[in-house]
A and B are shown apart, each in its own frame.
Chain A
Amino acid sequence: MTTTTPTFSSRAVSVLAAIWGFIRRIPPIYPVFFAIFITVGFLNPNYQTMNGIFVFLRRASPLAILAIGQMMVLASGGFDLSQGSLVTFVIVGSSMLLSNDPAKAYSTIGIMMAVGVLVGLINGTAVSFLKIPSLIVTLGMLLLVKGVAMYWSGGAPKGYFTDNFRVFGRGNFENVPIFGKFPIALFIMLVIAVVFYFIFHRTNYGKQVLAIGDNVRAAQLSGVRVRGIRVLTFVFSAFLTVIAAILYGGYGGISTNVGDGMEFQAVSAAVIGGTLLLGGKGSVPNVVFGAFTLEALFNLLNLIGLPKPYRDAVQGLIIIGAVAYAALTTRRKQ
C-alpha cells in the first residue's frame, strides 16, 4: 500500500505533465481564435448555426489563401507586397475579359492563373538574379500591376461577373452528407491548405525555404539552390493570390481599389499565425487560423458597433502586439 501510492501518484503527475506540455505547445493563435469566435457567437446568434459558421468560413477563405502564399515568402525572408494589386488586376481584368459571356469564364480563369505565374516569375527572378530586395521588387510590381489594371480598364471597369465565375466565391455544394451545404470557397481553401501543408511541412522544398529564411549563407553552403527555391516561393504566392482574387470576385464588387491594402492583411494574418518576419519560421495551419482570427475580429468590431475605419486601427494594434509578443517570448527562451 505504501509502495503503490507514490508510484500511482507519480504516474498521474507524469501524465498530467505530459498533458500540460501538450497544452503549452499549442500555438497561442488557437485559444485566441476560439475566444474571439465564441464571443462573436454570443453577440450574434447567427454564428451559432452551421449555416452562419459556413458563411463566416467562406468569407475568411480568400484571406487564408492569400496568407498561405504570403507566409511562404515571409518564411524565406522576403515580402510580397504585390498581392493586393494583383487581386485588383485579376478582378478588373476578369470583368474585362469575361465581357458578360459565361462561356469565357474558364478561359478567363486560365489566363489569370497564367498571369499570376508570370508575375511570380518576374518577382522571383528580380529577387534571385537581379538581387533586388523583395520589398522593392514587389513594391515596383504593386505600382506596375495596378497601373496595368487601371490602364486596361481606363479607371472604370466595365461589365459584371457571370454566375459561373461567381460560383467559386459564393456558391455551395448541395446535399453534402452531414453538412448539407458546403461552401465551394471553403473547399478550395481546404484543398490548398492540405496541398501546401504537404509542400511546406513534408518536403525538402519546405525545409529549404525555412533554411534560406533562417540563414541564406548557411543554406547556400549546405547545397540549397537558393535562387530556384526563391523563384518558386514567389510563383506560389502570386498563383495563390490569383485563386484568392477569384474567390473575392464571388461576393465583392468590381472596382479598381478592391485589393488595396490586402497584402498588409495577408502579412497581418501570417504574423498573427506565428510566422517570423525575415524568415525562418512559418506554419500553414497556424496561418489559416491567423486569417480566421483576423476575419473574426473584424466581425467582432462590426458587432460592437465600432465605425469601420477603426478596423484599421485595431488591426494595427494587433499586429504590433503579435510581433512584440513573439519577439519578447523568444528572447526570454534564450
Chain B
Amino acid sequence: MATTTLPANGSKNFFRSLRIPPVYYFLVVVFVGGAILDFIFADGQMVTNPAILTNIFVRSVALGIVAVGQTFVMIGASIDLSVALVISVTAVMTSFIMNGQTENVPKAIAVVFLIGAFTGLVNGLIITKLKVNAFIATLGTTLILRGVLNATFANFKGSIPRSFEYFGYGRIGPIPVSILVLLVVVLAGWFVLARTRYGFQLYGTGGSSEVARLSGLRTDRVIIIAHIICSMTAVLTGLFVVSRLRAGAPWIGTDGVYDLESVATTVIGGTALAGGRGGVWGTLGGVLIFGVLDTLFNQLGINPFMKNILRGLIIILAVASYTIRSKREAA
C-alpha cells in the first residue's frame, strides 16, 4: 500500500520543486490535443515535420518579446495598451529611415529605440506623477501615437535592406535567429526579475505600492523603468515584424492585436492583473499556447474569422481555469 503511494508523492514533490508554472501543463494538453486533431483531420505534420514545429516558435517570437515587457508592467500592477502602436511606429519608422540602404540600419535602430524609451517614459510619468490610471494613460498615448502616425503615413513607406532581413529569416545552424533573440529576451527578463534588486523592487511595488513606498522604495521610479522596458520590448517586436514583412505600414501593430494579446498571454501565464505575482516563464508558456493554436488552425485550414472566435473563447476559458478557484470577487 505504502509502496504504491510513495513514488506518486515523490514525483509530485519533484515537479513541485521544479516550480513549473501551471500554464505548461495546459500547453502540453493543447499540444497533444492539437496533434491528435491534426492527425485525424489533416496530415499530422505538426509533430512529424520539424519545419512546422519550428514554425510554432517563429510565430511566437513577435508576441513573445513584447509579452515579456508586458509581464514587467503587469507585475508592477500597471498595464500597457500602447505596445501595439509602438510596434506600428517602429515598423513604419524603420522602413522609412532605412529606405533599403544597409548603411541606414544603425541610425534607424537608434531612432526607434529612442522613440520607444520616450514613449515608455511618458507612460510612466503620466501614471506616477499625474496619478492617471494606467489603462487610461496608455490608452491615451495609444490614441496620440495613432493620430500622429496616421496623419503622417498612410501606407507602406520605404523598405528594409536585404541585410536586415537576417533578424526575421536568418538561421544559425538549424535554429532561426529570431528564436534565439526571443530566448535571450526571456532569459534577460527572468534574470532581472528573479536575480536583481530591481526585480524585487518591482514585485514589492506591484504587491502593495503603499507598503513598498513606506519601506523606502522609490515606487514611481520602479514603475517608470518597467514602462520603459516594456516599450523597448515593443520596439524589438516591431523590428522583428518589419524584418519579416520587409516594409512597415501603420496598421501592423493594431492588426496583430499585440496590445490585448500580450495582456492575455501574460494573464494566462499566471501574472495577476492586480500585480505582485508572476514571471516571464509563465508568459512564454502562454505565448507558446497561442503559437500552437495558430499553427493548428493553419494545419486544419480553419476560416480566418473562425480563428478569432476560437481565440476569444480560449482566452476566456484559459484565464477561467485559474480564476475559478479564487475566493475573491473579480472586477
Complex CA gap A77/B150 in Å reads 33
| B147 contacts the other chain (CB 8 A) | yes
What is the CA–CA distance of A154 and B304 in the complex, to the nearest angstrom? Answer: 10
A323–B273 alpha-carbon span in the complex (Å): 21
Query: Is A277 touching B135 in the complex (CB atoms < 8 A)?
Result: yes
9 contacts between A and B (CB under 8 A): A130-B323, A135-B135, A135-B273, A136-B267, A140-B311, A147-B305, A147-B312, A278-B331, A313-B147
Name the one of A130, A310, A323, A331 contacting B151, with C-beta atoms under 8 angstroms.
A310
Could you say which interface size class chain A belongs to?
Answer: 35 or more
A78's partner among B149, B303, B331 (CB-CB below 8 A) is B331
In the assembled complex, which residues on chain B have CB atoms less than 8 Å from the CB atom of A227? 329
Tell me how far the C-beta of B164 lies from the nearest C-beta in chain A, rounded to whole angstroms: 28
Answer yes or no: A110 CB below 8 A from chain B CBs: no
Which of chain B's residues have a CB closer than 8 A to the CB of A307? 151
Q: Which chain B residues have a beta carbon within 8 Å of chain A's beta carbons?
A: 79, 126, 130-133, 135-137, 139-144, 146-151, 257, 260, 263-264, 267, 273, 303, 305-313, 315-316, 319-320, 323-324, 326, 328-331
Among A132, A277, A311, the residue within 8 A (CB) of B323 is: A132
**B320-A312 in contact (CB<8A):** no
Q: A130-B323, A147-B307 are in contact. Are A313 and B316 (CB under 8 A)?
A: no
Closest A residue to B129 by beta carbon equals A324
Query: Are the C-beta atoms of A150 and B308 separated by less than 8 Å?
Result: yes
Q: For residue B140, which residues in chain A have a CB less than 8 angstroms away from its CB?
A: 316-317, 319-320
Residue of A nearest to B310 (CB): A147
Q: Are B132 and A144 in contact, CB atoms less than 8 angstroms apart?
A: no
Nearest CB in chain B: distance from A122 CB, A: 9
With CB as the reference atom, state the residue of chain B lying closest to A130.
B320
Inter-chain CA distance A133–B320, complex, in Å, is: 9
A115-151: CB near B (< 8 Å → 1, else 0) gives 0000000000011101111111101111111111011
Is A96 positioned at the interface, with any CB of B under 8 Å from its CB?
no
Question: What is the chain A residue whose CB lies nearest that of B154?
Answer: A309
Chain B interface, DSSP helix/strand/loop, else mixed: helix
- Residue among A77, A126, A146 with max Cβ neighbours from chain B (10 Å): A126
Q: Is the CB of A320 within 8 A of B137?
A: yes
How many contacting A-B pairs (Cβ < 8 A)?
173
Which residue in B79, B139, B147, B264 is a CB contact (below 8 Å) of A310?
B147
**Quick one: closest A residue to B148, CB to CB?**
A313
Q: Contact at A277–B133, with CB atoms within 8 Å?
A: yes
Complex CA distance for A146 and B260, rounded to whole angstroms: 14
Within 8 Å CB of A312, what residues of B? 143-144, 146-147, 150
Contact B147 A132 (CB under 8 A): no
A131 touches B130 (CB 8 A): no
Query: CA separation between A315 and B143, bound complex, in Å?
Result: 7
List of 5 A-B pairs having minimum Cβ-Cβ separation, nearest first: A313-B147, A316-B143, A144-B312, A147-B308, A143-B312
What's the Cα separation between A128 and B263 when bound, in Å? Answer: 20
Evaluate contact between A319 and B139: CB separation under 8 angstroms. yes
Q: A127-B330, A142-B312 are in contact. Are A151 and B306 (CB under 8 A)?
A: yes
Q: Which chain B residues lie closer than 8 Å to A23 at the CB level?
A: none
Task: Let me know if A139 and B143 touch, CB within 8 A.
Answer: no
Q: Are B147 and A311 in contact (CB under 8 A)?
A: yes
Minimum CB–CB distance for B89 against chain A, Å: 13
Which B residues are CB-close (under 8 A) to A132? 316, 319-320, 323, 330
Q: What residues of B have a CB within 8 angstroms of the CB of A143 in the complex?
A: 257, 260, 308-309, 311-312, 315
A316 touching B142, Cβ below 8 Å:
yes
> In the docked arrangement, what's the CA distance between A327 and B130, Å?
7
Question: In the bound complex, what is the Cα–Cα distance between A151 and B302 (angstroms)?
Answer: 11
Given contacts A136-B267, A139-B264, A323-B130, 14 further A-B contacts (CB under 8 A): A76-B331, A130-B323, A131-B323, A134-B330, A136-B263, A140-B313, A141-B316, A278-B133, A309-B147, A309-B151, A315-B147, A316-B143, A323-B136, A331-B131
* Cβ-defined contact, B329 with A220, below 8 A: yes
* With contact pairs A148-B309, A310-B147 given, residues A320 and B126 touching in the complex (Cβ less than 8 Å): yes
A267 at the interface (CB under 8 A from B): yes
| A264 located at the interface, meaning its Cβ lies under 8 Å from any Cβ of chain B in the complex | yes
**Contact across chains for A328 and B143 when beta carbons are under 8 A apart:** no
Neighbouring B residues of A130 by C-beta, 8 Å: 316, 320, 323-324
